[in-house]
Structure 1
Amino acid sequence: MLRKIVCLISAVIILILAVGCGSEPHKPKLGVSFGVGGATRWVKEKQFMEERAKELGADFMIRFNTNDTPKSWREDCFELIDSGIDVLIMIPRDLRQVDDIVDYAKKKNVKVISYGRAILNPKTELFIGYDTYKIGQNLGKHLSERVYKGNFIVLKGDKGDFNTHFLYDGANKYIEPMLGAGVNVILNDYVPGWSAETAKEMVKKAVIANDMKLDAVLCPNDGLAGGAAAAVQELGLKNHVIIVGMDAELAAVKRLVAGTQDATVYMDLKNMASAAVDQAYALAKGEKVTANSEITNDKGEKIQAYLITGEMVTKENIDKVLIESGYYTKEQIYGTN
C-alpha cells in the first residue's frame, strides 16, 4: 500500500513539473539592424535600446553597421531573421533596398518595425520616428522669422529616405510663400548618402555661382548643417548666414554657442529608442502596438506610427533644453574653463 502511495505521489510531482515546464512563458527575442552613417545619435539610441531590453528581460541582438564592412546591413537583417527572432527593428541604410528583407521576414513569421526611417513599401507593423513634417514646419518657420530676403539654400538629405520628403514638405509651407517676395532659392537638392562633405561642396558651388551671396541654409540634420557651416567658413563670407539643422549633435550645439549655426532640433532619443523596444516586445508576445499617428503609403495602406516632434534649440535655450534634461553636461558644451 505504501509503495502505491509513493508511486502515486511521484506521478503527481512529475505531472506538476511537466505542466510547469510547459506553461513557461515565451521569452521574446528581438533583433535590431542599424544600417546607419556616422551620426552620433545612433550610438546613443543603441545604448538606450540595450538598456530597455535588459529591463524587460528580452533576448536582444544588435547589428550596428556604419560602412557595410565586413558585412552589409542587408546581410545583417537576413542573419537576424534566420536566428529565430520574433521581431526585427530595422533602420535601413537605403529604403530602396528593403522589399526582399520585409518579404523574407513575413515568410519567416517575423514582425518588422521600421525605426528612424519610414519603410512605406512593403507595409510593416509600425514606424517609430520623428514627425518630420512638423519638424520641417518648425525649421521653415524659424528661417522665415529670421531672414526675410536674400539667397536661400535647401538641402534635402538622401533621396531614398522618405523622411527627407516629409521634412521638405513641412518646411516648404513657410519657404514657398517667400519666393518672389525677396527670397531666391539658389540650390534645392538632395545630398547623396547624407554626406557632410558633399553638402559642403554643393553649398560652395552654389554660392560661387551666385556672386558669393548666401543668407540662409535649411538642413535636415546637423551633419549637413556642419557641412554648410564649413562651406561658409571656407568661402570667407562676412555676413551672418542663418543655418538650421536637427538632431542636437554636440558639434552642432557648440556651433550654436559659436554663432555659426542658428538652430537645431532636440528629440528625446531615449523615449523613442525605449518605445521601439517596448513595441517590439509587445508584438513578440502577440499584443497590439500603441500608435499615436499613421502614415499612408502609395498603395493607400495605413501604417501605424509612433511619432515624436522634438523641440527647437537655439543659443538662448541650450541650458534649459539640453543641460537641465541631462542630455549633455555644461562641461561638454562649454568646456571646463
Structure 2
Amino acid sequence: MRVIGDPITAALGGRLPADQIEARKEAAGLNRPILEQYWEYISGLLRGDFGRTADNRAVTEVVSTYGVATLELVFWALIVAFIVGVPLGRYAATHRDSGSDVVLRLFAILAYAAPVFFVGLVLKLIFSVQLGWLPGSGRASAQVELDLMHVSPKTNILIIDAILYGDMGHLIDVLKHAVLPAVALGLLTGGVFLRLVRINLIQTLRADYVDAARARGLSARTVTGRHAFRNALIPVVTVMGMQIAMLLSGAVLTEKTFNWPGLGHQFAEYLSSRDFMAVQGIVAFIALLVAVMSFVIDFIVAMVDPRVRF
C-alpha cells in the first residue's frame, strides 16, 4: 500500500498546501526509504503496534472501540449458519436425490453465491420497509443505546449490557436489530455448512461401522444420529476457521448495508477517506485474528477427532 504513495498525500492532497503536507510526511517519517519504513512497521506489529490513523489515533484503539460490535455480529451470523446449514444438510443427506434434496442444494449454492449486500437489501426491503417487522439499521434504538451507556460494568456487547440493565424491552430491541444483519451474513456460511454436512454425512453413511450398526437392528434414526452424524460434523469444525475469515470480510458490506457500527463499517470509512495506514493496520489485525482462530480450531479438531493427533 505504501508503494502506490504515502497516505498523507492520498488523504489530504489538494486540501492542504504542499509545505504542510511535506511537514506532516516528515513528522510521520514517510520521507524515509520504503524498506526502512517497512521494517519499522513489521517491528511495531511484533510489539502489538498496528500503526496510527491519519488523525493520529492508534489502530488498536479503533479495534477495541469498534471490534466488539463486529465480533457480536459474527457470533450471531455463526448461530444462523449452524441453524440453517447443519439441520438442512442432515435432511438433504438422508433424503438424497429427492426433490427436497435438489431444492436444498440449489438453496446452498444461491446462499453462498449471492452478494451479502444484495441479500441484506432484499431483507431490509421485505421485513423492514414493506412488513415493518424488524428494524433495518443500527445495533439498537437510540434510546436503548443511551440507556445501555450507563450500565455497570459495561461490556460493549449489547446483548450482555441489555441483560445487565434488567429491562426485557431493551433485550428484545437488541435482538430485533441483530436479526436481519445476522441472517444476511449467516446465510453466506450456512450454504457452505449445508453442502459440507450433506456430502460428509452421505460418505459416512457408507462406512463399514454404519453397516454394522444397521446389521445389529438399530433404527435409521439411531444409526444416523449416534454413529454417522457426529463424524460428519468434524469437517465442518475443520473449515470453521476459514469461514470466520469469510464472515469477517463479509462483515464490511453487511455493516455498511445495515449501518452496523462495527469494525467493518469503520474500515469502509477509512477506505473512502483513503486512510491507508488505518486500512493496513485493520487488515493486519484481522489477519492475526484469523490465524489465531485457525490454530484454536485445529486444537479443537484434535480433541474431537483422535485420528488427527497421530
For the criterion TM > 0.5, the same-fold answer is: no
The higher-RCO structure (CA 8 Å, 6+ apart) is 2
* TM-score bracket for the superposition, by shorter chain length: under 0.3
User: Which structure has the highest strand share of the two?
Assistant: 1
TM-score by length of 1: 0.23
Structure-2-length-normalised TM-score: 0.24
